[in-house]
Structure 1
């Protein structure tokens, strides 16, 4: 479980194909990965991965063909930055919202508009996920917990403050880019509950 509060930006330092999947190396000395344990979970651009081969500079993770196909991780190349958040530990502060690291789909940047020192990003989401996005609700984009400012059919807007633009990879996005989207966990379970009650 995660919170959507990015703790550092790592960098892809190697990528080796393994059948339909690959093993990816991510450098992130700032997070002191040698203090983690092999088998721990870490959110990489919002996708929950299992850490392997830990040392002082970073870690590796195996990515399945499914992960490469259904998330933006398949587009990563050596040198690309990624948002990182180690798994939530008991007693940690829940600064964002409950995030599982299970990517629901890809959201596309439609437009970016300045708003003072902030920027308003407009994203388009797959039609089957649009119903889970609500004004003033939460979404996770590339591992970043954000509040939805406005919703219009299959599109929504978020306001990114200077701090978020600086400490996450979202500040590097241009129109047409895609990001990993995880909809609010509570919204998904409520939708399922309503669906089942309708069948009762």
Structure 2
């Protein structure tokens, strides 16, 4: 489990394709502290550390992950948001995040508000995921608060600190991000759909 509070950014330094899998090599300030078999969130995708070397760590994304997330579109030099699992007894500063991306979304708006930046994202309604006003959403692994919730669109207001310390600062119109919808909301939606 994660909280959506990004620890650091990692840089993709190598990518290897093996059959339908993608091996990613990431250099970061926490890579030297990681252990083999440890779960780490990469842009909101929970991936297992399978290799360590000289301040880099290696993870493998399988075909299902590549279909559901933006991981397959990463290139050498791109940055990813990194978060290690929540420790039992630790603070839940964001919200409950599983590291299971539900779908991707496209940035359709980025507006400087002279103190914050408003991002607007559009996603396919086909999977019946939903947001609620002032509810939680995970965008590229970042726990954020929804504003202007619509059927297949929502916005988030980003403070300068978050813009500087995550890869949202690199996101522009047309870029694809990972979404994980609030787990509590997903269960409530499922229960209500079974009653109708």
TM-score by length of 2: 0.95
How many residues in Structure 1 have an aligned counterpart in Structure 2?
A: 196
Determine the C-alpha separation between the residues in 2 that align with 1:107 and 1:153: 13
Shift of 1:58: 2.0
Aligned to 1:24: 24
1:132 Cα shift?
Answer: 2.0
Which residue pairs with 2:7 in the alignment?
A: 7
Structure 2 unaligned spans of 5+: none
* 1:55 to partner: Cα distance: 3.9
The runs of at least 4 aligned residues of structure 1 exceeding 4 Å deviation read none
Which of 185, 189, 192 in structure 2 is aligned with 1:191?
A: 189
Contact 2:12 2:79 (C-alpha < 8 Å) held by counterparts: yes
Per-residue CA deviations over 1:99-153 (Å, capped at 9, x if unaligned) read 0010000111111111122111111111135652010000000000000011133
More helix by share: 1
RMSD: 1.3
Q: Secondary structure in 1 aligned to 2:174?
A: coil
C-alpha separation between the residues in 2 aligned to 1:104 and 1:23? 21
Distance 1:5 1:119 in 2: 18
| Whole-angstrom CA distance in 2 between matches of 1:8 and 1:190 | 32
Q: Which residue is 2:132 aligned to?
A: 134
Distance 2:140 2:41 in 1: 9
Does 1:74 find its partner at 2:69?
no
Report the equivalent of 2:99.
101
Contact 2:130 2:151 in 1 (8 A): no
After superposing the two structures, state which structure 1 stretch, 73-82 or 60-69, moved more: 60-69
* Aligned match of 1:156: 154
Which of the numbers 31, 39, 42 marks the counterpart of 1:44?
42
Contact persistence 1:130–1:153 (CA under 8 A): no
Classify the secondary structure of the residue corresponding to 2:161.
helix
The alignment status of 1:53 with 2:13, answered yes or no, reads: no
> In 1, Cα distance between the equivalents of 2:170 and 2:135?
24
Mapping of residues 79-90 of structure 1, within 5 Å: 79-90=77-88
Question: Secondary structure of the residue that 1:13 maps to in structure 2?
Answer: strand
* Structure 1, unpaired ranges of 5+: none
How far, CA to CA, are the matches of 1:184 and 1:113 in structure 2? Answer: 25
> What TM-score does the superposition give when structure 1 sets the normalisation length?
0.93
Taking the aligned partners of 2:22 and 2:154, their CA distance within structure 1 comes to 33
